[in-house]
Amino acid sequence: MRLGIISALAEEQHGLIEALESPFKHFYGMREYTAGKLWEIDAVCVLSRIGKVAAAMTAAILVEKFGVTHIVFTGVAGSGDKNVTVGDIVVAEQLIQHDFDASPLFPRFEIPLTGLSQFATDVHLTDRLAAAAAPVTRVHRGLIASGDQFIGKPGQIQALKAAIPSVLAVEMEGAAVAQVCFELGIPFAVIRTISDNANDDAAVDFMHFIKTVASRYAFEVIYNFCKSGSEPTFGY
Ligand code: SAH
């Protein structure tokens, strides 16, 4: 396994780059890719920047230029469900681009020529991430919606829920990574710590929460994830 780890913001990945052994930095396409060993796993960490295009470009380059075989996206998201509260973790089982609409040519949300409106994450990676997150905080699994908007204006989350009732969390990159990985045949998973309720308080204390809570959770989850992969070794 050569694992690509993407986050949108520096604070979401804080600590992981420092934990990389024998780090080697490559600059490409306005991104800094740091390759090294992360607790025995061959890994490449990178910040995608915010939004679907930025995330799609980063995922494609991780695969095509840095040869990663698996991708995990770790970051924060707004809650899309009353049972999902700030400080919980949502592990995606499916992702949808909530702002995609090529109707009437294609059904709303469907990505043309894939026949899909939702992309499923890799079951093994997702199980392993959820198990890695379980000791850290409360974990939910389900649908994450991505779009090129910070959801926080009055009525925004309600409209999104009316259109896609099963959404657990909203963010701005996951479903783009999902589409790239689907098209390139790369197993991937997305894990998000809930930073806000996607309402008018959403921007308040957002960065403070990421720095103090979400970055620590991301670090612990990835640590548990990497450690859980070690194969039993036999003496002969
Ligand atoms: N206020 C921040 C903006 C960050 S954009 C700043 O000044 O830098 C929000 C980032 O966190 C995106 O990468 C997105 O994936 C995630 N996110 C967290 N809460 C969100 C919400 N309510 N709606 C959309 N994205 C959200």
Task: Please give the distance, rounded to the nearest whole angstrom, from the Cα atom of residue 235 to the centre of ligand 1.
Answer: 49
pLDDT above 70 for 231: no
Q: What is the pLDDT of residues 83-93, one digit of tens each?
A: 999 999 999 99
Q: Domain residue spans in the chain?
A: 3-227
Q: What is the pLDDT of residues 20-36, one digit of tens each?
A: 999 999 999 999 999 99
Task: Please give the distance, rounded to the nearest whole angstrom, from the Cα atom of residue 11 to the centre of ligand 1.
Answer: 12
Inter-residue contact 181 to 187 (CB < 8 Å):
yes
Measured CA to CA, the distance from residue 204 to residue 82 in angstroms comes to: 19
pLDDT above 60 for 182: yes
Supply the pTM of this predicted model: 0.95
pLDDT above 80 for 198: yes
* 32 is known as an active-site residue: no
Angle of helix 123-133 relative to helix 215-227, nearest 10 degrees?
A: 120
Q: 3-227 — its CATH code?
A: 3.40.50.1580
Best of 12, 95, 157, 172 for a ligand 1 pocket test (most atoms within 8 Å of beta carbon): 172
Describe the chain by its helix, strand, coil percentages, rounded to 5: 30, 30, 40
H or E segment to which residue 215 belongs: helix 215-227
* 12 is known as an active-site residue: yes
Catalytic residue among 11, 88, 110, 196: 196
If you write DSSP's letter for every residue of 160-213 in order, what string do you get? HHHHSTTEEEEESSHHHHHHHHHHHT--EEEEEEEEE-SSTTTTTTHHHHIIII
